[in-house]
């Protein structure tokens, strides 16, 4: 399969961005030239001028932000084809790319198409008169969350009349406590830089939540962050060893990813540097191919065997999560997963991000997480097994209100990926697959990745978690709720605006005013 890479030149292509340099401001410091891994800017010594090859520009804004005199403006290229609602510029450009290469068009980041974002059609409740709202600045407001399987009931043994001197006789399933209902999405070391990976680990550890290793293993020296790690066991089995499984808070079997349901992964050999090859346990410089399915899981019984194999390997002390992409039959699949022994089910929606995926898949396969979540939560309740698992959802969460709405629809916690990347510097230029991330996040080039300082980036991530948590507390307090569990599945606090009947039905919410 021939792949189309962004850095290649296409003779019939219009540039995507225009680079405007205000010559009166430019001091020829050449920062832009050094910062741009795509080699847009070039200084001509003889003319003492900086020239820009805007065909190469991806619009990441790194040069514009770092220019000391604000001399640069990068904006979408105004050149246009004849307006056509059907044949948009994007469609025409994609056709030309393929005509010149005969390959699959790659992209990064999440689905950018205007599918309905249900979060923007759901509004929240607040208390008035009959029920006091609670001020989170004055009263405790609790976000602590437990991920894992819960028993139906507890058996207690009492010692005399003291009801605090009680033994819990029921054997409990392992659960993981997090201080806020948000964890970092799966991003592997290899897909992202060591610095970015370490920043996520440090931030999760500092805030008391989790990060997810993706399928890239966990470098030995970072295993001290294991108790804040969800470690993945995916179709390539990269980096899986007993210590990897046993140092972790959660083990996750990755079946699918929202950005590319039904598709595997491919880390090109040039990104498999020595440390990555050691971590993934593959030879240096070889392609790391994750097959589309797990070849030992062709059915739900097979899944159950892997779940219990992992539970055996971790002495039944670690919850096992199973992550799938949100697809049409997600509710039935989720129910099967719980019955197969999954303690956590993770669902990744249509707008979930990726380091690299075929554009046609990213933009067309899967269903929105809002609908998938509502359907799964309802199905598990109808079957009386909702408390046998926790639901983690991923895919396009943009702000704390999205998180609150997801919890009210039934999620236990939310995976945040893109917001974490943006907090570290990402501007969603969607060129993750090129390995040339100017922000040092999605690259293995040491010249680029050392731009990201884990001390600083982890601080920004902690700030993100703190900011969102404070906002969640404000919203909870407004609803007269002081513990996040009282919002979980509480669709009474949601109302739809501008939704069709069938959509309200699937979401299980009333329309505003009803």
Partner 1 sequence: MRRMRRETLPDKEHQACGLFGVMNRKGERFGGRMAIDALMNMRVRGNGLGAGFAAYGIYPEHKDYYALHIMFQDWDLDAKREVDKFLGANFDVVCDEEMPTNPEASVINPPLVWRYFMAPDKKGDEKRLSDDDYVVKKVMHINTRIKNAYVFSSGKNMGVFKGVGFPEEIAEYFMLEKEYRGYIWVAHSRFPTNTPGWWGGAHPFCILDWTVVHNGEISSYGTNKRYLEMYGYYCTLLTDTEVMAYAVDLLMRRQRLPIEIVAKIFAPPMWDHVDIMDEKRKKLYMTLRMVYAPLLINGPWTIIVAHHGEMFGITDRIRLRPITAGEKGDLLFVSSEEAAIRAVCPNLDRVFTPMGGEPVVGRLKGVEKELRKKAEEGV
Region from 38-46, 123-131, 262-270, 329-337 binding partner 1, contact rule CB under 8 A? 123-131
131 lies in the binding site for partner 1 (CB under 8 A) = yes
39 lies in the binding site for partner 1 (CB under 8 A) = no
CB 189 within 8 A of CB 209: no
Residue among 268, 459, 480, 512 that touches partner 1 (CB under 8 A):
480
Backbone angles phi, psi at 406, to 5 degrees: -65, -40
Instruction: Supply the minimum distance, in Å, between the C-beta of residue 124 and partner 1.
Output: 12
166 lies in the binding site for partner 1 (CB under 8 A) = yes
171 lies in the binding site for partner 1 (CB under 8 A) = no
403 lies in the binding site for partner 1 (CB under 8 A) = no
- Encoded tokens for 461: 């991530």
509 lies in the binding site for partner 1 (CB under 8 A) = yes
Cβ closest to partner 1, residue 146 vs residue 308: 146
- Encoded tokens for 81: 């084809």
Instruction: Supply the minimum distance, in Å, between the C-beta of residue 351 and partner 1.
Output: 26
Distance CA 419, CA 183 (A): 11
Residues 354-383, interacting with partner 1 (CB under 8 A): 381
Q: Please name which of 420, 413, 390 lies closest in space to residue 321, comparing C-alpha atoms.
A: 390
Cβ closest to partner 1, residue 97 vs residue 149: 149
159 lies in the binding site for partner 1 (CB under 8 A) = yes
What would the 3-class secondary structure string for 265-283 be? EEECHHHCCHHHHHHHCCC
CB 343 within 8 A of CB 148: yes
Q: Computed over its alpha carbons, how large is the radius of gyration of the chain?
A: 24
Sign of the torsion angle spanned by Cα atoms 407, 400, 325, 266: negative
Cβ closest to partner 1, residue 140 vs residue 242: 140
- Encoded tokens for 485: 């569990």
3-state secondary structure of 51: strand
E strand spans, 245-404: 250-254, 265-267, 288-290, 320-325, 344-348, 357-358, 390-394
Instruction: Supply the minimum distance, in Å, between the C-beta of residue 494 and partner 1.
Output: 9
Work out whether strand 320-325 and strand 250-254 pair parallel, antiparallel, or are unpaired. Answer: parallel
501 lies in the binding site for partner 1 (CB under 8 A) = yes
Q: Tell the residue number behind the tokens 């969640």, with chain if given.
A: 472
Q: What is the DSSP string of 117-153?
A: -GGGGEEE----SSS----TTTS--B--EEEE---S-
Cβ closest to partner 1, residue 165 vs residue 243: 165
Sheet hosting strand 344-348, strand order edge to edge: 182-184, 413-416, 390-394, 344-348, 320-325, 250-254, 229-233, 211-212
498 lies in the binding site for partner 1 (CB under 8 A) = no
Residue among 98, 175, 273, 277 that touches partner 1 (CB under 8 A):
175
Q: How many residues bind partner 1 (CB under 8 A)?
A: 55
165 lies in the binding site for partner 1 (CB under 8 A) = yes
Residue among 103, 117, 508, 512 that touches partner 1 (CB under 8 A):
508
Region from 62-70, 143-151, 274-282, 296-304 binding partner 1, contact rule CB under 8 A? 143-151
513 lies in the binding site for partner 1 (CB under 8 A) = no
CB 127 within 8 A of CB 479: yes
Cβ closest to partner 1, residue 306 vs residue 509: 509
Residue among 8, 90, 120, 139 that touches partner 1 (CB under 8 A):
139
Region from 63-71, 130-138, 279-287, 451-459 binding partner 1, contact rule CB under 8 A? 130-138
Region from 39-47, 133-141, 314-322, 397-405 binding partner 1, contact rule CB under 8 A? 133-141
Binding site for partner 1 (CB under 8 A): 127, 129-132, 134, 139-140, 142, 144, 146, 150-151, 153-154, 156-161, 163-166, 168, 172, 175, 381, 384, 386-387, 408, 479-483, 485-493, 501-502, 504-505, 508-510, 514
């Amino acid at each position: 399969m021939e792949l189309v890479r962004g850095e290649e030149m296409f003779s019939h292509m219009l540039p995507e961005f225009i680079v405007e340099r205000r010559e009166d401001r430019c001091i020829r410091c050449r920062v832009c030239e050094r910062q741009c891994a795509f080699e847009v800017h070039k200084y001509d010594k003889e003319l003492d001028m900086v020239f820009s090859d805007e065909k190469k520009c991806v619009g990441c804004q790194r040069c514009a932000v770092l220019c000391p005199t604000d001399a640069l403006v990068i904006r979408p290229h105004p050149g246009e084809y004849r307006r056509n609602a059907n044949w948009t510029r994007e469609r025409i450009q994609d056709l030309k790319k393929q005509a010149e290469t005969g390959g699959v068009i790659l992209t990064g980041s999440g689905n950018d198409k205007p599918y309905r974002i249900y979060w923007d059609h759901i509004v929240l409740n607040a208390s008035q008169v009959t029920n006091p709202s609670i001020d989170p600045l004055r009263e405790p407001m609790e976000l602590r969350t437990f991920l894992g399987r819960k028993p139906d009931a507890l058996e207690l043994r009492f010692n005399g009349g003291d009801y605090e001197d009680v033994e819990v006789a029921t054997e409990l399933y392992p659960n993981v406590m997090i201080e806020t209902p948000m964890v970092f999405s799966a991003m592997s070391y290899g897909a992202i830089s060591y610095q970015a990976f370490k920043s996520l680990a440090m931030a999760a550890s500092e805030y008391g939540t989790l990060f997810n290793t993706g399928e890239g293993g966990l470098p030995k020296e970072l295993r001290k962050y294991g108790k804040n790690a969800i470690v993945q066991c995916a179709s390539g089995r990269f980096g899986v060893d007993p210590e990897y499984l046993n140092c972790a808070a959660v083990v996750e079997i990755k079946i699918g990813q929202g950005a590319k349901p039904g598709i595997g992964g491919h880390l090109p050999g040039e990104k498999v540097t020595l440390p990555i090859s050691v971590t993934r346990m593959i030879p240096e410089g070889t392609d790391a191919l994750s097959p589309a399915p797990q070849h030992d899981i062709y059915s739900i019984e097979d899944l159950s065997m892997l779940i219990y194999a992992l539970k055996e390997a971790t002495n039944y002390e670690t919850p096992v999560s199973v992550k799938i992409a949100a697809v049409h039959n997600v509710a039935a699949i989720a129910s099967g997963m719980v019955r197969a022994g999954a303690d956590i089910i993770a669902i990744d929606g249509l707008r979930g991000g990726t380091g690299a995926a075929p554009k046609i898949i990213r933009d067309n396969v899967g269903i929105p997480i809002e609908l998938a979540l509502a359907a799964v939560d309802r199905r598990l309740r109808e079957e009386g097994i909702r408390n046998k698992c926790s639901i983690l959802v991923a895919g396009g969460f943009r702000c704390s209100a999205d998180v609150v709405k997801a919890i009210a629809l039934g999620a236990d916690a939310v995976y945040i990926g893109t917001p974490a990347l943006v907090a570290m510097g990402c501007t969603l230029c969607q060129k993750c697959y090129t390995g040339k991330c100017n922000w040092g996040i999605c690259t293995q080039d040491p010249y680029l990745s050392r731009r990201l300082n884990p001390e600083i980036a982890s601080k920004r991530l902690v700030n993100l978690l703190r900011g969102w948590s404070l906002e969640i507390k404000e919203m909870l307090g407004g609803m007269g709720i002081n513990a996040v569990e009282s919002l979980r599945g509480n669709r009474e606090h949601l109302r739809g605006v501008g939704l069709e009947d069938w959509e309200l039905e699937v979401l299980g919410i009333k329309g505003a005013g009803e």
